[in-house]
Structure 1
Amino acid sequence: MLNRKQEPDIHDAVDFDVTLKPYESFTLDNGVPVYTIDGGAQEVLMLEWVFYAGNWYEQQNIVAATANFMLKNGTAGKSAFALNEHFEFYGAYLNRNCYNETASVTLHCLAKHLPDLLPVVAEIFSESVFPQNELDIYKQNQKQRLEVNLKKCDFVSNRLIDEYVFGIDHPYGKYTSTKDYDALQRESLEAFYQQFYKNGRCMLFAAGKLPADIGTQLNKVFGQLPFNRTEMPAVSHAFTPATEKKYRIINDTNGVQGAIRMARPFPNRHHPDFPKVQVLNNILGGFFGSRLMSNIREDKGYTYGIHSYLQNHVHSSAWMISTEAGRDVCEATITEVYKEMQLLRDEPVDAEELHLVKNYMIGSVLGDLDGPFQIIGRWKNYILNNLTDAWFYNSLQTIRSITAEELQALAQQYLQPDDFYELVVI
């Protein structure tokens, strides 16, 4: 019996033997790869269909995002209301999301309801019709939402900093305007849907307490659909970053708060420095005990929170620092950020701080692997970025073994003020 009068032993997370549960996989008759993680105590599961249908492949701005959103807004046999009623009747959730390279449709449901739900998901992939009235409502709602958001300094800053780093014509740097919504036509959505969904490239991820015949069920419903029969078009986009590095924009003359974004281009996950810089990033601003938080929030009181992170892009990334601060202290906040960068360049991280960050990062990995949904999510990220479990274990080894001298050298290479774009939107 557990002795509750005796304190449990305390162990450092860096000493744990962290493992990534391997996925199982099979292929449907039409070549769709299926990756599965079977586990969990409850009779629930998640299925995620991932299509190469992000804005990387669109010829007209926001066609990809609109086509993805409207998948649930009507098929040849069901209205938008009927589709939503069907999933709600079975207590299921069908969500869709559009990203840069990919777009996804995700189903959460009880395993016993799969026979009633899978055919309707297949209907969405093969018979969506994009009703004109639904498109008109979508355009009106999106324009109203955009007009509201454009009054918010943080929304404007998020749009502009990506433009400066990648270029307005690059998928990572594009943003929308009301004119883009006005230009949307049903025919453009149908053409995109036909190429990238109905006849597109698809992969499927499944996690949870999976039924024993999950492969049979999926193959019966989706194995004959015309997925993966054609090659994806070869699409490339040139980076056209801004030449100017410092921007100060007044979005609201009466605004009392400014949104600060500082960013520099950075390679993708295949660069050997990426795992090492993740450690350096956590020291700088990657968690609540970081240097930026300790200085700018705890000591100076300029902000409620400040964070730094590496963007999750496939082809290239960016190192971003993000915060909102009082209008009168925005410049002082930027000055303090550069001071913290200089300290990392000039002085090695002390052993206690480095040990704290290593424990935090390993502990975060443990938390991220708590359950089948989280595990399949990490595998999906690796697969879409053309990585294997070797990257996972190499990253853990990097966290455990990286030295203060290595971090200082990385700071001297990557934390140079002249490399960062600065943006303040008030």
Structure 2
Amino acid sequence: MINRKKSPAIHDAVEFDLKLKACDHFTLDNGVHVYAVDAGAQEVMQLEWVFYAGNCFEDQNIVAATTNFLLKNGTSTKSAFEINEHFEFYGAYLNRHCYNETATVTLHCLTKHLPVLLPEVAALFTSAEIPEEELAIYKQNQKQRLEVNLKKCDFVANRLIDEYLFGLEHPYGKYSSTKDYDALERDQLKAFYKRFYTEGKCIMFVAGKLPANLQEQLNNAFGQLPFRQSGLPVITYPGTPATEKKYNIINDNDGVQGAIRMAIPFPNRHHPDFIKVQVLNNIFGGFFGSRLMSNIREDKGYTYGIHSYLQNHIHQSAWMISTEAGRDVCAATIEEVYKEMLRLTNEPVEKDELDLVRNYMMGSILGDLDGPFQIIGRWKNYVLNNLTDAYFYNSLETIRSITAEELQELAKKYLVPETFYELVVV
């Protein structure tokens, strides 16, 4: 019996023996790979179809994103209204997103309703019509939304910093304009849909309380579709980064706040420094107790929040610092960011601060493993980046063992003020 008069022992998170739950893998009749995590107490599921149909495959800007959005806006047998009504009737939620290399369709539902929902999802991949009237509504809405967003300094800053980092022709550096929406034609979208969805490459990720006959159900709905597992176009990443490093953009003459972005290009997850730099990044600006937050928010009061992070891209990444500050203190904010960089290069991190960050990162990983949807999300990240579970355990070991001296050397290597792109949009 538990002794309620005695408080439980306190353990550091770094002492936790974290394990990544194994992911089952099987292949449908047509070669589609399925990754599944069977866990959870509730009879709910998440299914995600990942297509190699991102913007790096398009010949014209925003074709990929538009096609992805309009997947559920009408098929040969159902209107957009009827499709939404069907999923809502069964308490299911269907969403879609488009990224640089991939595009996704995600279904959340009760396990017992899977047999009546899977055929409707399959229809989206084989008989989506992309009706002209739905396309017209989409174009109008997107142009109006864009016009509103372009008045926001943070929105403009996010667009421009990626352009400076990667170049406007690079998939990571592209952004939309009203002219791009005006140029969209239904025939272009239908051709993209046929090539990259109906006959595209698909990977499935499934998690939750899975039915015993899951493979049979998926095979019946998707195992005979003409998905292909090879023959995709070779992805190219054209584009030239900007030669200038410092930019000041006037977006709102009457605005009182400016958006600040500072960034450098960075390798992807396969680089040996990537995991180590994640530790350094957390010390620098990666969580609420970071140096940037302590200095610029708590001490100086220049901003409500400032964060640094590594971008989540497959091909290459970038180390980004992002904040919004008062127009009159933007220059001072940037100066303080550089001061924190120099502190990390000139002084080793003290043990107490490093221990705090170790525990924060281990606790965050523990939270990310809380539930089947979070677990399959981590597996999805590994699969799409051509990694294995060894990456997970290497990350844990790095967090536990990295030294202050190693972090200081990394800071000297990467936190060099002269190499950073610097953008202020006011």
User: With structure 2 as the length reference, what TM-score do the two structures score?
Assistant: 0.99
Secondary structure of the corresponding residue to residue 269 of structure 1: coil
CA distance in 2, matches of 1:19, 1:284: 28
Contact 1:199 1:230 survives alignment (8 Å): no
User: For residue 189 of structure 1, what is the aligned residue in structure 2?
Assistant: 189
What does 1:5-20 align with in structure 2 at a 5 Å threshold? 5-20=5-20
User: For residue 30 of structure 1, what is the aligned residue in structure 2?
Assistant: 30
Contact 2:166 2:173 survives alignment (8 Å): yes
User: For residue 223 of structure 2, what is the aligned residue in structure 1?
Assistant: 223
CA distance in 2, matches of 1:370, 1:380: 16
User: For residue 405 of structure 1, what is the aligned residue in structure 2?
Assistant: 405
User: For residue 329 of structure 2, what is the aligned residue in structure 1?
Assistant: 329
Deviation at 1:235, TM superposition (A): 2.3
Deviation digits for residues 348-372 of structure 1 (CA, Å, limit 9, x no counterpart): 0000000100110011000000000
Q: Give the AA of the match of 2:218.
A: L
Aligned residues: 426
Secondary structure of the corresponding residue to residue 109 of structure 2: strand
User: For residue 348 of structure 2, what is the aligned residue in structure 1?
Assistant: 348
CA distance in 1, matches of 2:239, 2:354: 35
Q: Which runs of 4+ in 1 moved over 4 A?
A: none
1:206 aligns with 2:206: yes
Contact 1:34 1:206 survives alignment (8 Å): yes
Deviation at 1:395, TM superposition (A): 1.0
What does 1:178-327 align with in structure 2 at a 5 Å threshold? 178-228=178-228, 230-327=230-327
CA distance in 2, matches of 1:227, 1:293: 48
Contact 1:28 1:34 survives alignment (8 Å): yes
Secondary structure of the corresponding residue to residue 30 of structure 1: coil
CA distance in 2, matches of 1:4, 1:88: 47
Deviation digits for residues 61-92 of structure 1 (CA, Å, limit 9, x no counterpart): 00000000000100000000000000000000
Q: Give the AA of the match of 2:270.
A: H
Secondary structure of the corresponding residue to residue 221 of structure 2: helix
Deviation at 1:230, TM superposition (A): 4.6
Secondary structure of the corresponding residue to residue 234 of structure 2: coil
Deviation at 1:237, TM superposition (A): 1.6
Deviation digits for residues 323-348 of structure 1 (CA, Å, limit 9, x no counterpart): 00000000000000000000000000
Q: Which moved more, 1:293-302 or 1:2-11?
A: 2-11
Contact 1:268 1:315 survives alignment (8 Å): yes
Secondary structure of the corresponding residue to residue 112 of structure 2: helix
User: For residue 80 of structure 2, what is the aligned residue in structure 1?
Assistant: 80
CA distance in 2, matches of 1:420, 1:234: 31
User: For residue 113 of structure 1, what is the aligned residue in structure 2?
Assistant: 113
CA distance in 1, matches of 2:256, 2:343: 30
Contact 1:368 1:374 survives alignment (8 Å): yes
CA distance in 2, matches of 1:241, 1:4: 62
Deviation at 1:229, TM superposition (A): 5.4
User: For residue 44 of structure 2, what is the aligned residue in structure 1?
Assistant: 44
CA distance in 2, matches of 1:229, 1:362: 36
User: For residue 369 of structure 1, what is the aligned residue in structure 2?
Assistant: 369
Contact 2:50 2:105 survives alignment (8 Å): yes
User: For residue 142 of structure 1, what is the aligned residue in structure 2?
Assistant: 142
CA distance in 2, matches of 1:353, 1:294: 12
Deviation digits for residues 188-233 of structure 1 (CA, Å, limit 9, x no counterpart): 1000000000000001000000000000000011000000155111
- Cα 1:399–1:122 change in 2 (3 A) is same
CA distance in 2, matches of 1:152, 1:238: 28
What does 1:44-63 align with in structure 2 at a 5 Å threshold? 44-63=44-63
User: For residue 176 of structure 1, what is the aligned residue in structure 2?
Assistant: 176
Secondary structure of the corresponding residue to residue 362 of structure 1: helix
CA distance in 1, matches of 2:332, 2:383: 42
CA distance in 2, matches of 1:306, 1:84: 39
CA distance in 1, matches of 2:276, 2:211: 40
Secondary structure of the corresponding residue to residue 96 of structure 1: strand
CA distance in 2, matches of 1:314, 1:230: 19
CA distance in 2, matches of 1:244, 1:20: 44
User: With structure 1 as the length reference, what TM-score do the two structures score?
Assistant: 0.99
Deviation at 1:238, TM superposition (A): 2.4
Secondary structure of the corresponding residue to residue 325 of structure 1: strand
Deviation at 1:418, TM superposition (A): 1.0
User: For residue 3 of structure 1, what is the aligned residue in structure 2?
Assistant: 3
Deviation at 1:3, TM superposition (A): 3.4
CA distance in 2, matches of 1:232, 1:9: 55
Deviation digits for residues 216-263 of structure 1 (CA, Å, limit 9, x no counterpart): 000011000000155111121224100000000110000000000000
Secondary structure of the corresponding residue to residue 238 of structure 2: coil
Secondary structure of the corresponding residue to residue 175 of structure 1: coil
Q: Give the AA of the match of 1:378.
A: R
Q: Give the AA of the match of 1:62.
A: I
User: For residue 419 of structure 2, what is the aligned residue in structure 1?
Assistant: 419
Contact 2:202 2:229 survives alignment (8 Å): no
Contact 1:21 1:375 survives alignment (8 Å): yes
Contact 2:32 2:229 survives alignment (8 Å): no
1:156 aligns with 2:146: no
Work out the percentage of aligned pairs sharing the same amino acid. Answer: 75
Secondary structure of the corresponding residue to residue 262 of structure 1: strand
Structure 2: any 5+ residue segments left out of the alignment? Answer: none
| RMSD after superposition | 0.7
Deviation digits for residues 89-123 of structure 1 (CA, Å, limit 9, x no counterpart): 00000000000000000000001111110000000
Q: Give the AA of the match of 1:296.
A: I
